[in-house]
Structure 1
Amino acid sequence: MSQCSRLSHVVAVAVLAMSLPGASYAAAPGFPAKPVRIVVGWPPGGLADIASRTVAEQLAALWKQPVIVDNRAGASGAIAADFVARSPADGYTLLAIMPDHVILRAVQPKPAGSPNADFAPVSQLGIAPLLVMVNPKVGVETIQDLVALAKRKPNALTYATPGAASMHHLSQALLNSQTGVQMMHIPYKGGAPAMMDAIGGVVDMTLGSPAQSLAYVQSGKLKALAVTSSKRSALLPEIPTVSETVLPGFAAGLWVGVLAPAGTPDALVRQIGADIRKVMTQSSVRSKLQEQGVDVVASTPEQFSAFMREEEVRWTEVVKKAGVTAN
């Protein structure tokens, strides 16, 4: 489909959506009349936390009400998700999610339902690539060199990730599968210890966000070989993508989005989503997130819902092919 055709299709879908019952963008009367909470399932300082705090600050100014970021870390975001799913569907408790939200379903699927079953998608905030990095002692200069070495020595190379079934794990598993190589996965409890052991040579390689990895790459403690996104990172523009080197069309990475509890009135979901898109398109917000290696998306509820369904299908297939488990 040409770019023009795609644009026409998007416009047609948007027009149709606005004509459907309940699709009004009219503001919910008096919302918000009290503080709003964004629950984040990871500790302060991570991608989801940074994106949520950036949005919360601007929403608070727009709404003239406090917007509180509530970190409830644990179980790859499941603790926070369970809390929000049980919260009143009134727009005052929102959930910030990352790919784990759909990956967990692929690893530990429920009998029925979808990643949207307990929630109403509001907006995808942004995306960030992962950097494929090696300890300099591995002796490779490019991602092509790494693939060639892995083919010569099956299961000899080790790669560290923040945990089993993390996006880091699945991205490398997908890369390995599509290039026909085998490596040994070493899961850690968090990105920091995985990074430190790659620097120390305990493991051969790891993956991390550009913002997390920048200082180590610039100091020479780790060598960046490629980024997993479809385009190069603004923080490290000299590093090629996997797609332009060894696997045309390859794209994977981290993303952050916002959900509301299922049953939240459609007009309210749309109002919150529209306000999020309004603040996300501010140049100051874009600049702040780009400094963290995050590209702003700011999608509609329909776009985010479709994206989540596509992610679940995609990573469920990777999980099955690679035999990934949460343990």
Structure 2
Amino acid sequence: MSKSRIFRQAGIATALTLATTLAGAQNWPSRPISLIVPFPPGGSSDVLARSLTDKLSQTLGQPVLVESRPGAGATVGADFVAKAKPDGYTLLMGAVHHTIATSVYKKLPYDFEKSFEPVTTIALVPNVLVVNVKNSATDVKSLVAQAKAAPGRLSYGSNGNGTVQHLIGTQFASQTGVELLHVPYKGSAPLTTDLLGGQVDMSFDTITPVIQHIRAGKLRPLAVTTAKRSSTLPDVPTLAESGLKDFDQGTWFGVLAPKGTPRDIVVRLNAEMVKIIQSPDFRKRMEEIGAEPVGNTPEQMAAQIRGDTAKYAQLVKDAKVSVD
């Protein structure tokens, strides 16, 4: 067979593949869509996912189903989506945790920057240092005094090794000169249950899973971990205000699709999601759970991922955190 015929056949095959992809994209969605949440139900990612998909199902004309696939610091769910068919029917609820995992895990089966198509960041959620109300600490200073009086006795829970809560804990311990016991969980729901029961002494989780317990007087907030105070907890100081210089950590959540998902599907997903995120009803819901709505472009989200990946690589190195 001549080279020209081979090239001609290859060109025809490529054109047919492109035509099929475009046709599929034009008919999308024609069946239910799965949004994979890599944490157990009850946490910020789950609440945000359901707040978004309730409206998204209506605008797309197909059910958008929330599916929980927790494990290994949110990497199990991410790996599932990375290997899914890039047809717009399997999406990931990504989070800042995934940018940290890039440095924490020695062998990840995917590349967070290269294996996904960013769609949009849904919201930023400040983290908050909370203790059980049975703990006598009323501020960061008194909590640090407790920790120094009993090195290694006070424990803090996180959503898993290598998550942002874990790194906030290591940074807090480093800056205050205390020794804390880290207790990793698979998500916010089991962590909060144990915090309420006294099995762990404190957490640096996002506001969403603990706000109802703060309002009920069962958990006491000592400080938020972001540079600015939270509008949801305006009377709670920041860690920087509490003496931890330049402390600024928070958690973002957003939607990503597998790499290779047709551009027009990504563009439509972005447009529909941003419209929902900017709506008064959604903003009101975010205020209730302590989240700050974002709704940016895929390019802005990609830049955010690049920046956080580099930022946390240094924090992971300084904290000597690694997972095999």
TM-score of the superposed pair, with normalisation by structure 1: 0.81
**Alignment root-mean-square deviation, CA:** 2.6
* Counterpart in the other structure of 1:25: none
Hey, what's the Cα distance between the residues in 2 that align with 1:151 and 1:141?
16
Hey, what's the Cα distance between the residues in 2 that align with 1:80 and 1:160?
21
* Counterpart in the other structure of 1:274: 271
* 1:50 alignment partner AA: V
* 2:33 alignment partner AA: V
* 1:126 alignment partner AA: A
* Counterpart in the other structure of 2:69: 72
> Secondary structure of the equivalent of 1:127?
strand
Hey, what's the Cα distance between the residues in 1 that align with 2:89 and 2:193?
39
> Secondary structure of the equivalent of 2:227?
coil
**Kindly tell me: are residues 134 and 299 of structure 1, through their superposed partners in 2, closer, same or farther at Cα, counting changes over 3 Å?**
same
> Secondary structure of the equivalent of 1:76?
coil
Equivalent pair of 2:35/2:93 in contact (CA under 8 Å) = yes
Equivalent pair of 2:70/2:186 in contact (CA under 8 Å) = no
Identity %: 38
Hey, what's the Cα distance between the residues in 2 that align with 1:86 and 1:78?
12
**1:21-170 alignment, distance < 5 Å:** 29-110=26-107, 114-151=111-148, 154-170=151-167
Q: 2:171 aligns with which of 168, 174, 178?
A: 174
CA-CA distance at 1:50 after TM superposition: 1.8
* Counterpart in the other structure of 1:262: 259
Q: Does 1:239 align with 2:261?
A: no
Equivalent pair of 1:94/1:258 in contact (CA under 8 Å) = yes
Unaligned runs of 5+ in 1: 1-27
**Kindly tell me: are residues 86 and 193 of structure 1, through their superposed partners in 2, closer, same or farther at Cα, counting changes over 3 Å?**
closer
* Counterpart in the other structure of 2:20: none
Q: Deviations over 1:280-305 (max 9, x none)?
A: 10010111122111111111111111
**Kindly tell me: are residues 68 and 220 of structure 1, through their superposed partners in 2, closer, same or farther at Cα, counting changes over 3 Å?**
closer
Q: Does 1:224 align with 2:221?
A: yes
> Secondary structure of the equivalent of 2:88?
coil
* Counterpart in the other structure of 2:298: 301
* 2:236 alignment partner AA: I
* 2:179 alignment partner AA: Q
Greater Cα shift, 106-115 or 299-308? 106-115
**Kindly tell me: are residues 240 and 109 of structure 1, through their superposed partners in 2, closer, same or farther at Cα, counting changes over 3 Å?**
same
Greater Cα shift, 146-155 or 257-266? 146-155
Greater Cα shift, 109-118 or 65-74? 109-118
**Kindly tell me: are residues 237 and 161 of structure 1, through their superposed partners in 2, closer, same or farther at Cα, counting changes over 3 Å?**
same
Greater Cα shift, 108-117 or 96-105? 108-117
Q: Deviations over 1:272-325 (max 9, x none)?
A: 212211111001011112211111111111111111112222222222211223
Q: 1:285 aligns with which of 261, 279, 282?
A: 282
Greater Cα shift, 58-67 or 120-129? 58-67
* 1:277 alignment partner AA: V
CA-CA distance at 1:264 after TM superposition: 1.7
**Kindly tell me: are residues 113 and 38 of structure 1, through their superposed partners in 2, closer, same or farther at Cα, counting changes over 3 Å?**
closer
Unaligned runs of 5+ in 2: 1-24
* 2:166 alignment partner AA: H
Equivalent pair of 2:144/2:178 in contact (CA under 8 Å) = yes
**Kindly tell me: are residues 123 and 148 of structure 1, through their superposed partners in 2, closer, same or farther at Cα, counting changes over 3 Å?**
same
Greater Cα shift, 259-268 or 149-158? 149-158
* 1:284 alignment partner AA: D
CA-CA distance at 1:192 after TM superposition: 3.9
Equivalent pair of 1:40/1:70 in contact (CA under 8 Å) = yes
CA-CA distance at 1:262 after TM superposition: 0.6
Q: Which has the larger radius of gyration?
A: 2
Equivalent pair of 2:72/2:161 in contact (CA under 8 Å) = no
* 1:242 alignment partner AA: L
* 1:165 alignment partner AA: G
* 1:85 alignment partner AA: A
CA-CA distance at 1:189 after TM superposition: 4.3
**Kindly tell me: are residues 62 and 208 of structure 1, through their superposed partners in 2, closer, same or farther at Cα, counting changes over 3 Å?**
same
Greater Cα shift, 141-150 or 56-65? 141-150
